[in-house]
Structure 1
C-alpha cells in the first residue's frame, strides 16, 4: 500500500465524466430539454451500424448499464419527415443491440436521425455514396468508434469488430475539441493523428434538423487543413445555443465526430480532457486555439462518434455511511515512451458499493492484488490488505464474493496461526493454490515481514493458515528502520511464472550463467515466483521449495519506481509489472531478450476514463474467455475513492475493461 502520495491532480480527473444520478453516461443527448416521455438512459442509445444495400437495416446499441425502452421512437432520413419503425425488441438491454428495417428506405448517399417518442434527437449519422454498402459501422468500439465502411459482411445484432477494417482513415483522428455558445459560438477541431488532414471541404451542422450543413472554410477561410497534433478554430454561422450540438462531416458527407451539451454547458466553453480524447467538461476559461486547460468541472457535454474517448459506467448503488473512502496519494509522472491503453476505451464499475467491509475494518477499501484462476476463469481472487482473501464470481456484470466459498471473505493468518498479514499481492500457482504476499504484520506494523504464503483454497473454515510460508525479510534491511512507512514498502505483488515459459524463451539462470534448467531445483514445483518490491520497483525471483526453503534467483529491473502487482499473461507471453498513480497508472510488459535476460518490452497506460487513484491490483482474463477479439481486464482501487465524492465510482473498488486477445 503506497505511503508517500499526494492528492490526485485536477487534470487527471478530466478523463472521467460527471456522475448523473449515480451513473456515468455518454452519447448524443437531446438538442432541447428531454421531454417527460423520454425514457431514462435514452442518451446511451447510439446508431451503431446501417446498410443501404436493399434491406436498409439499422442497428442501435445501448452503451449504458441499464436497459432502455425505445417504444414509440421514430426515425427520419434526409427528408426529415419522422416515421415510426418496428424494432426487433421494444427494449435494448445494457450492452445490447436492437435492429430494424427502415420504413422509408435509405439511399446510397443519405442520413439517419433517431428520435425519442417525444421528438428528442438521440443520434444522427450521414454517409456518402456507397459508404453504407455492405454497411457503415462504428469501428474501434460499439457505440463510440469511428464511422467506416465495413470490409466484410454486416454484423447486425452483434459486435462490429469482426466486420471492421484493421485501420481507419486519417480523417477519423480529427475531433471536435472545444466549443463555446457564449455569442462567438466558436468550434475548435484537433487532429490527434500522425499526418495532416485536409478539411477544406468539411462541413458542420447543429442539432436543428431544419438547418443545412455549413462549410468549415466559409466560416473560417484559413481552416483548410489541420497538421498532425494541431488545431483550427471557426465561428459557427448557424448559431449555437443552450442544449445544442455540433456534428462534424467530412467532405464526402460522412459523419466524423460530434458533441452535445446542456444548458450553459458551453459557457465559457466545453472542452475535451485531454485534447482529442477523453470527455467534455465545462471549462473555467476558454482556451480556443491552444491546449485545453482541463481546470473546470465535469459534465458539460458528451462526445461521440470518434472512438477516441471511452465511458465509465456506474453500477452497484451509491455510497452509504458503511465505508470510508481514502483519497489517492503519491501521484507521479508517466514514464516516457508509454503507449496508450491497447484495449477498449470503455470501463465499467465492477463491484457493489462498500463491498469489502470486514470485521477487522469497516472501511471497505484496501483491495490490492488480483488474479484470475487459470483453471476456472470465471473466478477472480482478490486480496485485501487487512489480511483477507476473497473468491469472486460474476453476477449481473459485477464481481461479488462467492457465497459457496465465503460471502464475506476468509481471514488470513501467518503459519503459526496468529498475526495479521498485510496481504498485498496474490497469484495462483501451478498446483492451484493461492500464494499471497505480506509486507508486514499489521499487529506490529513498524517491522517488515516480507513473506510469501501458500494457501489451499479448498481448506474449510473462515480462517486460513498457510500450507507453507517463506520469509525473505532479511533480504531487505532498508525496510527495517522502525518506520511503519518503510515497513510498508515491501512485497506489493507476486506472479507465478511457469518453467515452460522460462525455458522456451531461453532465460539464463543467474545462478549458473547457463540456460535455466528446472531439474536443478527438484523441490520448487513447476514454476518460479516473481515478487514486486514497492520500495524501488524491482522484481525478486524465487523458487519456493516444498520443504519450506527457497532459492533466490536475483533481481530484475522493471524501469519503474514502484511495482504494485505482478502477473504472468499467457496470451501475450509476458510478465506484467503494474504500478498505480505513483508511475502514472502504467503496466510494463516484460520479455526475455536475445541475451536471455528478462527486460521491459512495452509500457501501457490505463484507459483514459479511469480515475487516477491507488489502483494496486491488475489482472487479465485467460484467452479462453475471448469474445470478438477481447477479454476482460480488471483493476482494484486500494482506496475506493473513484473521482471523488459525488461521482458514481466513489465507494467502489473494482473496474472492468477489455484487453486484446
Structure 2
C-alpha cells in the first residue's frame, strides 16, 4: 500500500473499525440442512474479539456429537437490554465454529461479558467475562472445553492454542540468510505483490504499475527490456481511465497467456474511496507503455467496509480440480464446491486478502462479469499483505508485514472442507523486520538438495533495494 499507511502501533488499539457486513465464517461452520436435537450445553462461547481488528464478534462452538439448531438463540454483553438474536435457519455442526458480528447490536468493552441464551433470552447457556480488551482474541484452548486466554484471531477456524499455529511462530523452514535480489534503486518505494511464473517474476506496484522481471544472471531479477516493460507498464481501468492502486498480482492455470489478475483497493484518482476490485490485463503481447484492463470485478458492495487504504492487499488463484479433490466446502451453498454451477470462469477460485481485517475472501470470477463469494477465511493475523498458493505442498501462504513482525502463516483444507491454519513461521533470521508486502516461493522445478528460492518485495525500498531472496525447504 502507498505512503498513507496508518501508524503500525495503532493497528490493534481498541477502536471500533467500521467493518460492515455479516459474520466471518470459515467453511468449517457449514453443515447439512437438517439440525438434530442436542443438549444446549454442547454449544459454548469459544472466541471473543473486542479490539477492532474486525467488528466486535462472538464465536460459538459445538463440542457435541449432533448438529444444533441455533435459530433464535440470543447473545448479550453485560447489559441485559443489549441483545443480538441469531437468524432463523442457523445451524452448527459437531466440531464446528461460527462467528457472529454483534457490533450492530452492542459493543464489547475492555471490561465486559459475552453471554449466550436459549431462544427468549432468559435461559443462560454459557458466559465469559474479561477485564481487558482481546489482544487480538480471547480464545478457549482447546476449542469448546478449555480456559480462555489471549490468542491470535481465528474466527470461524480452530483456535490458536500455541502449537506453532500462530501465537508462537516457529523458526523459518529454510535458510536464515537473506540477500538483495535487485540492483540499487530500480523500483523506488511501493513495490508490493509478487508472482513467479518460471523464468518471469511479475510484480505489482501501488502507483498503478505492473512489472515483468527476468533473471539477472546472479540469482536476482531485473526489468524486462523488451516490449515496453523496461520501466513497468502503467495500469488503467476498463476504458482507459483512472490509476488503480495495484497491490497484488497472480496468474491462472493458463499462465500469462490467460492474462494477469491484479488486486486493487482504490482508484488513485479518488484515493479516499474504497474500490475493492480485481482487474484483468492482457500481458502476453503488445509493446506500449500502458495496459487497459479488459475486465473489472468490483467486489466492494458485497464485502465488509474498510478504510480506503486498508483493502485488498493480496491475491492468489487455486485450480478447481485441487479444491474439489480436497473436499473444499462452498459457503454460498453449504455443500461441496461444484465448479459446474458457476458456468464459464477461470477454472479456479481467487483468494483475496484484506489488510484491514486479516480476512481472506474466496471468489469465483465469472467470464461474464459476475462474482460469487464461496468462502471467507480467518487468516489468524491482524492483516494479510500477500497470499500464495504453493501447489507442491498444497498449502496457502498468508503473509503479514512488519505489522506482525513478518509472520508467515500456512493454511490447508481440513477434513471439514475449510481452510484452517496449520503452521506459523518467523521471518528468516537474516531478514530485518521490513515492510514486506510481497512473497513468492519458486516452483518445484527449482528444488535442489531439498531447498528452493523464495523472494520478498519490500514496500519501503530499504537501503535502495525492494527485492530480497532466501530459501525454503521443498
Q: Same fold (TM over 0.5)?
A: yes
User: Whole-Å Cα distance in 2 between the matches of residues 401 and 606 of structure 1?
Assistant: 26
Secondary structure (helix, strand or coil) at the match of 2:211 reads strand
Cα offset, 1:469, TM superposition:
1.0
1:401 is the counterpart of 2:214: no
Q: 1:344 aligns to what?
A: 175
Q: 2:322 aligns to what?
A: 501
Cα offset, 1:457, TM superposition:
1.0
Q: 1:411 aligns to what?
A: 234
TM-score (norm 2): 0.64
Secondary structure (helix, strand or coil) at the match of 1:336 reads coil
Once the two structures are superposed, the pairs formed by residues 439-454 of structure 1 within 5 Å of their partners are 439-454=265-280
1:378 is the counterpart of 2:199: yes
User: Whole-Å Cα distance in 1 between the matches of residues 285 and 243 of structure 2?
Assistant: 19
Secondary structure (helix, strand or coil) at the match of 1:339 reads coil
Q: 2:19 aligns to what?
A: none
Q: Is the 8 A contact 2:243 2:267 kept in 1?
A: yes
Secondary structure (helix, strand or coil) at the match of 1:561 reads coil
Unaligned runs of 5+ in 1: 8-333, 357-363, 480-485, 642-649
Secondary structure (helix, strand or coil) at the match of 2:234 reads strand
Cα offset, 1:416, TM superposition:
2.1
1:626 is the counterpart of 2:439: no
Q: 1:365 aligns to what?
A: 189
1:585 is the counterpart of 2:401: no
Secondary structure (helix, strand or coil) at the match of 1:487 reads coil
Q: 1:658 aligns to what?
A: 471
Cα offset, 1:496, TM superposition:
0.5
Runs of 4 or more consecutive aligned structure 1 residues displaced over 4 Å after TM superposition = none
Q: Is the 8 A contact 2:166 2:409 kept in 1?
A: no
1:458 is the counterpart of 2:284: yes
Q: Is the 8 A contact 1:453 1:466 kept in 2?
A: yes
Cα offset, 1:477, TM superposition:
5.5
Unaligned runs of 5+ in 2: 10-164
Q: Is the 8 A contact 1:372 1:620 kept in 2?
A: yes
Q: Is the 8 A contact 1:335 1:583 kept in 2?
A: no
Q: Would you say how many aligned residue pairs link Structure 1 and Structure 2?
A: 311
TM-score (norm 1): 0.46
The equivalent position to 1:473 in structure 2, one of 290, 300, 309, is 300
Once the two structures are superposed, the pairs formed by residues 205-216 of structure 1 within 5 Å of their partners are none
User: Whole-Å Cα distance in 1 between the matches of residues 184 and 270 of structure 2?
Assistant: 30
Cα offset, 1:459, TM superposition:
3.5
Secondary structure (helix, strand or coil) at the match of 2:330 reads coil
Q: 1:221 aligns to what?
A: none
Cα offset, 1:335, TM superposition:
4.5
CA pair 554-6 structure 1, distance change in 2 beyond 3 A: closer
Q: 2:110 aligns to what?
A: none
Q: Is the 8 A contact 1:335 1:584 kept in 2?
A: no
User: Whole-Å Cα distance in 2 between the matches of residues 339 and 452 of structure 1?
Assistant: 33
Cα offset, 1:6, TM superposition:
4.4
Task: Look at both structures and tell me which one has the larger radius of gyration over its CA atoms.
Answer: 1
User: Whole-Å Cα distance in 1 between the matches of residues 413 and 365 of structure 2?
Assistant: 21
Q: 1:602 aligns to what?
A: 423
User: Whole-Å Cα distance in 1 between the matches of residues 6 and 439 of structure 2?
Assistant: 21
CA pair 380-409 structure 1, distance change in 2 beyond 3 A: same
Deviations 1:379-414 (A, max 9, x none): 110000000000111113221011124111111001
